[in-house]
Structure 1
């Protein structure tokens, strides 16, 4: 078995390892996405407008669903497959930036996905705004050699152009929605409509050419809408659409409660994770209650809830009335990396540091960001921490043993502690807290995507789930961008979930 980041520095992808072959898969010219570009920020304004003037996602989603039902999609939105009782499927989250980090995932993904029945993309298939014309280089090209269907649930970025591209690709060539009546002048809806980013005209010929890259009969999949359920072998996989603001409309909430019934074990796939960064985000439903209320109901028999949106891997085994539900974040499929070193010492829903898992490890995350800030601020000698230094200072600030011990422990100096504090490691309050540099919210919304690195290690990840009548084996595999991890992707986390 390949060494993982928990074993060695080399297993994490650090050092002078041979770069992988992923560049051979990329188009000759790649337009790197920059969120520092005002044009990109302006195009992605709909999330902010929805929070100011009201979120129209539920109404628009209802129109899409009605259109699909009129075209013959099943009213219960259940895809019934003929998979055997023993089968496997893959999960990728937040894939579609179309640059080196996304393509670096592909070789290891294809190696690990051998023999799987299908894959699911959890959130943000296409960045920055879900444009139809971006599907060629950000979906069809990278996964053209995956010889099985790919299903998806949209993320907030897929909604920035009204979900038109997503519906066209995943839901049977769905035509655009007709325009809605104009809202009352000077109302909140009127202001929202005035400022709203609308889909750009798509190049139909360009999309048809891209679709030829995944045109084999075995690769085809047609979803009944942006949310769906799949009956596969002994389990039901339920995918929900959390829209622009991470919530469910009343219609989808009623559907979720209905398809969650029955004794069949269930796995939820959602665009917004329910546990993330040491916090509980139960996901509100418009007419009351939450998604997690549905997941926790023992009559519904959910065994796992997997969410994208946050670009790393996390797992929280939560005890719910004597049974364990695995709450997973799986957003490392290709977009820039969200820091894990800022996750505080975990204590949520009786899950502690002893039970919690994440990738990248917090020490590797701190080392990654310290070097990134060193380059950005042109102060590498001050900011850059070695992997051993970052691992040691994170362990000190969290009050836990180091996850990876390799060689004698380094001496933790005042400079190391100051850099760790400035970059928010462990979020422990100290005198440097008021000077803390943006790493989480502000940084990841503005600076982090613009500071994405285009050389390994990338710290990307994906999941493989092996299903039997007795259990689901869930494994998180790493993709660093190095040749060694391409040929033999290391397992960063593994858990067996009983179905009995």
Structure 2
């Protein structure tokens, strides 16, 4: 097995490595997503409008669901797959930028997933706004070699065009009837004036894209944007958290109903419940939270996997004498969200000893130091070696280095200053007053605008192998280098008992 980032710097993808062959899969011309382009920002305005004037996605989702039920979709939204107790599936999150980081994941994903029964995309299938026309290069082309069906739940970016592209591709749905026009002087009326409206789907373009995955074994039609899959002994439940990371009352009632019973369950959500050392239980319109349902012992959840944040994290949380694995897996192809900004973990009795992430915090800090050095034209000041970054993270968090350097590393005042400016992880009692914009809303703007198109990319995907007794969950790395492409390293592994 290939060495991982926890073993060596080379295992993380650093050094003079040979680039992988993923570029042979890409189209000749790739339109990169430039998030600081005013045209792109304007097209992606619906999330801001929903937070200012009220979120209409619950009503839109309800119209989609009712239309699907009228067309014959099962009202319980359960997809029943006839698999044995032993089966396997893949999980990718936040895939659809259509450029080097997305395609760099594909060779390892195909090699690792050739014998699996299906795959699930957890959030943001298509960037920047979920346009139907983008599915050819950002979904059908990269995964044309995957031999099994691919299911998906939408992310906030898929909702920027009211889910038209997502529903056309995954549910074979025609556009629903428009909502009644709101009063002009109401908040909804003001929102409607500025709302980004979907482009009319080009049926011929969609058919041409679908021809890239023509095998009957690759086909699947979902009942809607949220669903459940019964396979073997396990039920996998996918929920749609819309634009703002919440679910409507109608979907909440369905989730409570479909979660009942002794069958072990895995939640797949567009908004992770534990992330960056914080708890985000995901409110349900009308009361309660998604995590209340996950924690209920009568529902028998064993894991909750979320996209949206573009890295990997795992929190094994003890709930009433059992362990639920809360996982973030959004490293399927979009720009990388920092992990070095995650403070020393201490939440829900999960400590640093139990917590796992990828990229390692030191690799994340080294990556961002190069990024800011290039962006600000201060490379000599900002750039940290991987060993320096690993050492200063260990110092700031008060933990042993995750990857032991080959020789002693001196943490200089410059190294400490750069780490502080870039918001490197810290103990809660040592919060810094001034940090450059690395986390939260600034990351969503600055990081994509400074995205790199050469390795290492620090992407990831999951493989879950299910038996009657347990689920084996593995996180594989994709760096864009040939070494990790030929033999994808395992960055994390956990066995989840089902008995």
TM-score class normalised by the smaller sequence: over 0.9
Gaps of 5+ in 1: none
**Counterpart for residue 311 of structure 1:** 310
Distance 1:432 1:271 in 2: 29
User: What's 2:409 paired with?
Assistant: 410
Cα distance, 1:442 vs structure 2: 3.4
Q: SS at the partner of 1:255? A: helix
Would you say 1:79 and 2:108 are equivalent positions?
no
> What SS does the aligned partner of 2:161 have?
coil
Q: Is the 2:164–2:201 contact (alpha carbons within 8 Å) kept by the matching residues of 1?
A: no
Give the match for residue 334 of structure 1: 333
Contact 2:4/2:491, CA 8 A, preserved across alignment: yes
The 3-state SS of whatever aligns with 2:425 is helix
**Cα RMSD for the two superposed structures:** 1.1
Measure the CA separation in 2 of the matches of 1:409 and 1:87: 46
Tell me, in whole angstroms, the C-alpha distance in 1 between the residues paired with 2:95 and 2:443. 16
2:318 aligned with 1:288 = no
Please list, as runs of the form range in 1=range in 2, the aligned pairs for 1:12-411 lying within 5 A after superposition.
Answer: 12-171=12-171, 173-411=172-410
- 1:450 corresponds to which residue? 449
Which digits, 9 at most, give the CA deviation of each residue in 1:182-211, with x for residues without a partner?
111210110010010000223222211011
**Shift of residue 445, structure 1, vs aligned partner:** 1.9
Q: How far apart are the structure 2 equivalents of 1:427 and 1:375?
A: 25
Deviations 1:8-45 (A, max 9, x none): 00000000111000000000000110111001000101
**What is the TM-score with the length of structure 2 in the denominator?**
0.99
Alpha-carbon distance in structure 2 between the residues aligned to 1:5 and 1:74: 45
Task: Note if contact 2:344-2:428 (Cα within 8 Å) is conserved in structure 1.
Answer: no
Change (3 A) 1:51 1:148: same
Measured in 1, the distance between the counterparts of 2:293 and 2:79 equals: 20
Matched residue SS, 2:143: coil
SS of 2:47's equivalent in the other structure is: helix
Number of matched pairs: 499
| Residue deviations 1:157-176 (CA, integer Å, cap 9, x gap) | 000000010000000x2001
SS in 1 for 2:212: helix
Offset at residue 408 of structure 1 (A): 1.6
In 1, Cα distance between the equivalents of 2:450 and 2:426?
Answer: 22
Task: Give the Å deviation of 1:443.
Answer: 2.8
Q: What TM-score do the two structures reach when normalised by structure 1?
A: 0.99
State the secondary structure of the residue aligned to 1:15: coil
SS in 2 for 1:98: coil
Q: Is the 8 A contact 1:470 1:498 kept in 2?
A: yes
Shift of 1:68: 0.3
Residue 178 of structure 1 deviates from its aligned partner by 2.1
Residue by residue, what CA displacement relative to the aligned partner does 1:452-499 show, whole Å, maximum 9, x if unpaired? Answer: 100000000000000000000000000000001011000000000000
* Paired residues of 1:421 and 1:432 also in contact (CA < 8 A): no
